[in-house]
Amino acid sequence: MRLGSDHVRVRVPATSANLGPGFDALGLALGHVDEIDVRALGSPEVTVEIEGEGSDDVPRGEDHLVVRAIRAALDEVGAPQVGLHLTCVNRIPHGRGMGSSAAAVVAGILAARMLIGEPEALDDRTALRLATAFEGHPDNAAPALLGGATVAWTDDDGPHASTLPVHADVVPVVLVPAVRCATRTARGALPATVPHADAAFTAGRAALLVHAVCHRPDLLLDATADRLHQDYRAAVMRGSWELVRALRDVGQAAVVSGAGPAVLVLERAADSDAAARARAELLGPVAPDGSTPSGWRVLTPGIAHAGAVAERVRTHLG
């Protein structure tokens, strides 16, 4: 496999996984986007320039997650490894349950897709498999790659995903705290087993959630109820769970976003003004930059229906 380009750009969206009861299966792509510019170099060095989220604490060499994903994707198709220069504009908050690591992995894989001479060798099925190998499960990688709402599953053939048609009245709002929570910490709070009644309840609500997202947004409050993981994680993100419960008490379909501690609200467009007023009563007035006196930042990113997008800036090496 030869390289066909030495300069590519990738835009990849934030994601919210689980959406309440859809644990490790359902996900939503959000219009809050990281941008990565990748140049293949004739020399072997790797340099990474970072603006925005993570600029003070992420690696700037081979250990950078985008670089690792590019390396894995090039190896997958037998393409030569090269030196790399990355320029990253990071907007997705890190350690908040908004899919920042999945976005980095998908960005690297799609950058490799555009660097090689035969992009079809890294089709979406292959990209999802590679991303899942990094992430451990496909619930964030699927919407980052495909866009919109997705349902993902894994069988003996590996991970799969299908997109869902999101009703036009569904509006995501993300409430981002100042604190972080590592995914491993959130997963470590989960028990090895759960009561059968709780599993059955959550399975029913996950099925209802697909219907609500696609056809009946008026059912979102009931559809986002969960007994599988959020209660157990309350101990490691008490403020997030208290906010979820307070929002649900006033009729908002609030859930922990992914592994948290951000909170996702799935509201109806027709109710947006009333929902915003109710949130302001809990968090305080929202400033133009989304900040509030309580320390939570309010994002209204919309849905990224297209998913990640990669393009060649230069089509020939030289």
The DSSP call for residue 228 is S
Average pLDDT, the chain: 94
- Residue 316 has what pLDDT? 56
Sign, CA torsion 264/266/270/271? negative
- Among the listed residues 313, 317, 315, the one whose alpha carbon sits nearest the alpha carbon of residue 37: 313
- Residue 57 has what pLDDT? 87
What is the rounded CA–CA span in Å between residue 119 and residue 105?
Answer: 17
* Residue 166 pLDDT grade (very low, low, confident, very high; cuts 50, 70, 90): very high
User: In this structure, which topology does domain 170-299 adopt according to CATH?
Assistant: Alpha-Beta Plaits (3.30.70)
For the residues 207-223, what does the mean pLDDT come to?
A: 97
**Residue pLDDT, tens place only, 167-203:** 999 999 999 999 887 888 888 888 899 999 999 999 9
**Residue pLDDT, tens place only, 4-26:** 899 999 999 999 999 999 999 99
- Residue 315 has what pLDDT? 62
3-state secondary structure of 110: helix
For the residues 118-126, what does the mean pLDDT come to?
A: 97
Say how many Å lie between the first and final Cα of the chain, rounded. 17
* Residue 137 pLDDT grade (very low, low, confident, very high; cuts 50, 70, 90): very high
What is the rounded CA–CA span in Å between residue 168 and residue 108?
Answer: 31
Between 283 and 190, residue with greater pLDDT? 283
3-state secondary structure of 44: coil
What is the rounded CA–CA span in Å between residue 119 and residue 252?
Answer: 43
What is the rounded CA–CA span in Å between residue 127 and residue 130?
Answer: 5
* Residue 290 pLDDT grade (very low, low, confident, very high; cuts 50, 70, 90): very high
**Residue pLDDT, tens place only, 44-75:** 899 999 999 988 889 999 999 999 999 999 99
- Residue 235 has what pLDDT? 84
Flag whether pLDDT at 286 surpasses 80: yes
The token pair at 6 is: 């030495």
The DSSP call for residue 285 is P
- List CB contacts of 237: < 8 A, sequence separation 6 or more: 181, 186, 256, 260, 261
- Among the listed residues 119, 121, 124, the one whose alpha carbon sits nearest the alpha carbon of residue 106: 124
Domain boundaries defined on the chain: 7-165+304-314, 170-299
- Among the listed residues 217, 276, 219, the one whose alpha carbon sits nearest the alpha carbon of residue 250: 276
Q: Matching CATH topology for 7-165+304-314 and 170-299?
A: no
- Among the listed residues 47, 82, 39, 43, the one whose alpha carbon sits nearest the alpha carbon of residue 64: 47
The token pair at 83 is: 């030196």
3-state secondary structure of 145: helix
What percentage of the chain has pLDDT greater than the value 90? 85
Q: Is residue 19 within 8 Å of 25, Cβ to Cβ?
A: no
What is the rounded CA–CA span in Å between residue 97 and residue 14?
Answer: 9
For the residues 151-161, what does the mean pLDDT come to?
A: 96
Q: Is residue 26 within 8 Å of 142, Cβ to Cβ?
A: no
What is the rounded CA–CA span in Å between residue 255 and residue 96?
Answer: 13
Burial call 113-137: b when 16+ CB within 10 Å, e when fewer: bbbbeebebbebebbbbbbbbbbeb
Question: What are the DSSP calls for 177-220, one per residue?
Answer: -SS---HHHHHHTS-S---HHHHHHHHHHHHHHHHHHHT-GGGH
What distances in angstroms separate CA 285 from CA 96, 270, 293, one per listed residue? 22, 21, 7
Output the CATH code of domain 7-165+304-314. Answer: 3.30.230.10
Flag whether pLDDT at 317 surpasses 80: no
- Residue 318 has what pLDDT? 46
Flag whether pLDDT at 77 surpasses 80: yes
